[in-house]
Amino acid sequence: MTVKDLQQHDVTANGIRVHYAARGTGPLVLLCHGFPEGWYSWRDQLQALAAAGYRAVAPDMRGYGRTDAPAEISSYTVLDIVGDMIGLVGALGEKQAVIVGHDWGANIAWHAALFRPDVFPAVAALSVPFRQRGPAPPLHMLRKAGQLTHYWFHFQEPGVAEAEFERDPRTALRRVLYSISGDAPPETRRLTLQPGKGWLANTLDPVIALGSGAAALQALPATVPGLRRKLLIDGAGHFIQQERPQLVNEAMIEFLGGLPAWGR
């Protein structure tokens, strides 16, 4: 399959223009990418899901690719982005979708199913397990724990991370995608910054393997009602659907095939 084989369209959803790639017909499966990615990260899943009898749709999420990027930081709350996905389901002429997310897209998928189970009756999440709400905002918890070198802080001051990435976008993306992949040496797989250096200096999946991610993974049977399966793929890193597309496709199709019918 090539990009030319895909349908690509723009629609208005939740008040913004959303670009998406799609393939296939049947029950809708919505694929939400993470950072720093776009709809293209789901290219292998679009083909496989279509062949299995599903309508697979992968949008550029708010702020990415050809989808609108509102200037206000306050326009990127989980409510806004879940609202985009609800609006996209309606714009596609559908009433329901199984929602699949990777990385930050997994966080959106989890919350979409929490907020609107009538629209999203099932969720599959890659690389980011569900975390219950903590006693304080995440950045506050990191400060309290003394984790001031966590990469989230690097992205708080507008323009700092952007300047680092924009010096050489192609190289920056390659470094990020490689650095926490299963092919990278363990010393690169960190979510913290080296003193005096940017995030790309860092650059086993640290989100799953370390700290609260590992704890959240172990807690899934208690925190996710109706949990069907936990799957760990040996040797793979964070960008799982691109690193091990065949295994991810097989697991995803098996999961979808075991669900009650959804759709119109």
Distance between CA 146 and CA 136 in Å, rounded? 15
What 3-state DSSP class applies to 264? coil
Alpha carbon 58 to its chain's center: 11
- Judge contact between 202 and 190, C-beta under 8 A: yes
Residue with tokens 């596609």: 92
Joined together, the tokens standing for residue 216 give: 């959240």
Which one from 103, 111, 150, 205 is the annotated catalytic residue? 103
**C-alpha distances out from residue 86 to 27, 39, 76, 235, Å:** 15, 17, 15, 35
* Coil vs helix vs strand at 234: coil
Active site residue 238: yes
CA distances from 35 to 32, 143, 181, 182 (A): 10, 23, 14, 17
Active site residue 154: no
**What does the angle CA 31 – CA 51 – CA 58 come to, to the nearest 5 degrees?**
15
Residues 100, 58 contacting (CB under 8 angstroms): no
Task: List the catalytic residues.
Answer: 103, 238
